[in-house]
Chains A and B, each alone.
Chain A
């Protein structure tokens, strides 16, 4: 199946490849592809897919050397590129080596490499098979993608079944510092994962003409088949994430990252890449995500397409989102940048809030023991009315009703506040109070000085208070009856 996929792949004219091929050779950092294999065998330590994120210089150097060797080797035959057969061979080699590099999983090169880079037949199968053994899983040489022409060519090679196709590309030519730089640009890469690893910014544009030429690298090659077996984990993470968040950072050349995760992480379908490529001409916006059950994450330019890195990135984005949210909450956090400092600030703020609660509770305890006695029933009965704003007034009114004469004195003070809403509140209370007291409410626990707490209700919206006042005044008789009922409940 993979073979036929690759058979269908149409590759751009070899001449283009020749051109691009020469680019790397002219680049300062010569990638010695010829050395690549031995280098890989020697130097690449057994690192797992995660390592690519922290790709070391070593890896990059390996990649660089490998690339340069690969580049240099075909150089003599560049002149033959225009030929049909010559380029095929070169391309085969390239792909083989590329596949090694791009394949972090290491088992990519099963069937996939059967693709026919040029229009030739499955001549690639052989070269492909050779790289895999040399390929150690580490190949997180995604940094390697510095070679623009090379990446471009790689893109053409849809036969690269390399799964963990890190879309990371160095903006510059060959691995500059090994850091995946997210330049925010997305490169359109062919669906070939391995090729994508090599994609560089320049490559993207260069690859564009090539991509529509025909790669119909439908499903990823062999490794995808392998992956299909293992996948099942189509993470149901937030799928909207790829659609929503990365969009601003996407350049017109949105790169469809195809990440097929060996370990069952996110996985992109190749056909997505196909769609995108199809739309590439007129559609610069993000193409619609096909309704798959996988997590489709859009890789940003200069970032790896490794499944783990993708997951990491998504997670980091989520955390960043929430950090912004927290930043709004915590006062004075605008100047602070960086996650660690922000988190420290947040922790300090939470601690200070908790300390405040403790302190206030201490204060309350010292106050309460002498004075604060609540009208329990009043509060309880107000539960039913809590939804309405009037409940507050009723609550306050009832509580005030139960105030002792001590509060009555305070009422006068409150009533002097003409302008505030409290005054309106007080009037019903005042009217209620004498009647309440008269009805023998004194046996209820009284809230001494609770009228002072009226001020606390000022923190509620004033409109509410006004409406409450109206209700309070109108319900004066109701209050009395209610208080009577409450008395009974007691």
Chain B
């Protein structure tokens, strides 16, 4: 490929696009495989999967694994909780982070450095499990829905990413708005926020995926309240219980070894769980992709 670099030959685009397409096909195969494999395992009989040989297509079809996932009636409410926390966290998180990023991108702002530093440091320390637990307890957030929203609302990483993006925007837009007498909030909301669409889509994706996938906050702060259980937490519960029945010698002591029937194994359950929990969030990205268009932001200003 390197030899093509310098040549201005007309064949170049054809060669490049062919090679590039081939390369992308390899990327697709390599990254699609694990997902197809998981899907195949999720539709395959657990004990059949155990002996290997299932790649991207099930050998012995069964819905047993999915039945095991949906048997507990609790997962519907848990899914509702998960969707709610994801939507609320994303909307609030994107709004607040961008607003803060806007202020920190203003070179004249007096607290710019102090607040930036305050946030940056948080990326590199963690107070620890127990102090955090006491904080949540003292704030009265235990067994409250808001424990899913408040603690991670504005993350330093997202803040910096947005700030970097805002800084790369043409400064003249803000300047001219200021000359027109617009206040900072107005400039932020009317001009900067819409201009940031591509990066906001990215950050929205990050927050949504993070919120959707998290179960540790349920584990620590809301585990005794079934009404607040999230989908991921219910799935962890299910996976754990599948594993433990296969691991506990005292439970197995009386078990009948000579059974013949389709069975679920930890691996087959896990595959089904992965598909069930990943599917909804997977569709977020394709939806957000339409905001990833080159020049979109500038175009919107031109209107």
- The yes or no verdict on A and B being binding partners is no
B: which residues have CB within 8 A of A? none
